[in-house]
Amino acid sequence: MLKIVVCVSGGGTNLQAVLDGIDAGIVTNTEVIEVISNNAKAGALKRAEAHGIPGICISPKEFADREAFNQAFTDELCRLKPDLVVLAGFLVKIPEQAVAHFGNRIVNIHPSLIPSFCGVGYYGLKVHEKVLERGVKVTGATVHFVNDGMDEGPIIAQKAVPVQEDDTPEILQRRVMEQAEWILLPKAIDDIANGRIAVVDGKVIKKQ
């Protein structure tokens, strides 16, 4: 059984997609053991509570400095000992010590086709605003392993989503979630849980 911790900052729609996948048997051999948020008012914590899953807030604002937050966050993950950490709209950079400790065991969902529209400053609705400003015709989402860089880890899967002429950032955001994020993330977790995906020498290896 793959024990996962899901980290979320907002409403938790990607978390819900994972929970729904588990309930429907689409995501197998997987258990969410805790949800961590940096926002005490995050809807994700309410979703966790509704599913009987422990939820906790660990916010940088609660600590004297970022180093103290980084240590507290890493300590909580080490206490939980998850097999996989899932960043499902988590708007806080993962501490280097956590990345080092959980090497190749942290995955992230990003709302663009990496390497486009990613890195520092590209998160949430800002990604879709930039997509529309640039005038591209195709966007999408990416699931990738997390390394020390920002959105630079090995890519697990991507799915393209068309951009429509009358899109607003909010409409495009919703389409990307529905047509890509909510499909890619549950599948990636299920693949990892059942040994169909691994990282070898920094590269994603997919098995049938």
Q: Which residues are catalytic?
A: 110
- Does 199 or 30 have the greater pLDDT score? 30
Q: What is the pLDDT of residue 207?
A: 79
Beta bridge partners, 162, equal 138
Q: What is the pLDDT of residue 199?
A: 82
> Over the stretch 2-33, which tens digit does the pLDDT of each residue have?
999 999 999 999 999 999 999 999 999 999 99
Q: Is it the case that residue 201 has pLDDT exceeding 80?
A: no
99 close to 73: Cβ distance less than 8 angstroms: no
- Least confident range of 68-72, 76-80, 101-105, 146-150: 146-150
> Over the stretch 57-98, which tens digit does the pLDDT of each residue have?
999 999 999 999 999 999 999 999 999 999 999 999 999 999
Q: How far apart are CA 146 and CA 47, in angstroms?
A: 25
63 close to 83: Cβ distance less than 8 angstroms: no
Q: If residue 127 lies in a helix (H) or strand (E), which one and from where to where? A: helix 125-134
| C-alpha 37, offset from chain centre | 12
Q: What is the pLDDT of residue 208?
A: 66
Q: Is it the case that residue 109 has pLDDT exceeding 80?
A: yes
Q: What is the pLDDT of residue 198?
A: 80
> Over the stretch 113-137, which tens digit does the pLDDT of each residue have?
999 999 888 888 999 999 999 999 9
pLDDT band per the 50, 70, 90 thresholds, residue 161 = very high
- Does 8 or 204 have the greater pLDDT score? 8
Q: What is the pLDDT of residue 202?
A: 77
Alpha carbon dihedral 146, 101, 193, 151, in 10-degree steps, equals 0
